[in-house]
């Protein structure tokens, strides 16, 4: 019983989301596999869709951009499920998936950065840059920690939470609120992971 409790505590929010929506993602993944679509194709489609969303954001068409991001970002949940159902889970596939996630996020923030820079909104432009830096650091700290065989799987705003913050606020045409939240909480998350790594390292 104690072991099960400990395992439950180790699950991230993203892990729990995958479990909660398993009844939707697995049948959808089976259907897409049946159409002959490959997991890598889904990854690329998600990236391209987010690039289109980023273009809309760069033009100040915030709601349209939010709609593309709403539709295309969940492809990230499908490509991994598709690969698992096909028995084709590979390290390179996981690598491509992670890299495309970072590109998607940077394209989205890049679209907002461009829009606010040409709008001469210096404060928001700086905040978008801070949000982008924080988002990358959240991923980098975890990746660097794992390369040292340390656990950094913690933090208040991982990628799933960032998606759940950004997308609704874009659809509500409130991008500045989303940017403020990202700028603050991504960097808080990076610091949480740094402190977690420090704790893990001192245990060795």
Enumerate the active-site residues: 101
CA 134 to chain centroid, in Å, comes to: 12
CA dist., res. 8 & res. 76, Å (int): 23
- What is the distance between the terminal CA atoms of the chain, rounded to a whole angstrom? 27
Could you give the C-alpha distances from 132 to 125, 128, 157, in angstroms and in order? 11, 6, 13
- CA-CA distance, 66 to 102, in Å (whole number)? 17
Q: Which backbone phi and psi does 161 adopt, to 5 degrees?
A: -65, -35
Tokens read off for 77 = 């949940």
Q: Which of 178, 161, 159, 163 minimizes the C-alpha distance to 112?
A: 178
The SS3 assignment for 22 reads: helix
């Amino acid at each position: 019983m104690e072991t099960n409790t400990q395992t439950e505590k180790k699950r991230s929010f993203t892990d729990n989301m995958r479990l909660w929506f398993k009844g939707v993602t697995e049948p959808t993944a089976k259907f897409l596999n049946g159409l002959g679509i490959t997991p890598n194709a889904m990854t690329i489609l998600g990236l391209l869709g987010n690039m289109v969303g980023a273009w809309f954001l760069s033009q100040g068409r915030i709601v349209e951009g939010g709609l593309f991001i709403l539709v295309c970002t969940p492809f990230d949940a499908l490509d991994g499920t598709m690969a698992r159902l096909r028995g084709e889970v590979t390290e390179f596939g996981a690598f491509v998936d992670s890299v495309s996630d970072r590109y998607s996020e940077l394209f989205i923030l890049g679209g907002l950065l461009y829009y606010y820079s040409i709008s001469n909104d210096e404060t928001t432009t700086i905040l978008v840059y801070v949000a982008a830096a924080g988002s990358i650091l959240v991923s980098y700290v975890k990746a660097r920690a794992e390369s040292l065989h340390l656990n950094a799987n913690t933090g208040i705003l991982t990628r799933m939470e960032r998606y759940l913050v950004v997308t609704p606020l874009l659809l509500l045409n409130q991008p500045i609120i989303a940017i403020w939240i990202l700028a603050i909480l991504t960097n808080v998350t990076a610091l949480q992971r740094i402190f977690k790594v420090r704790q893990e390292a001192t245990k060795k």
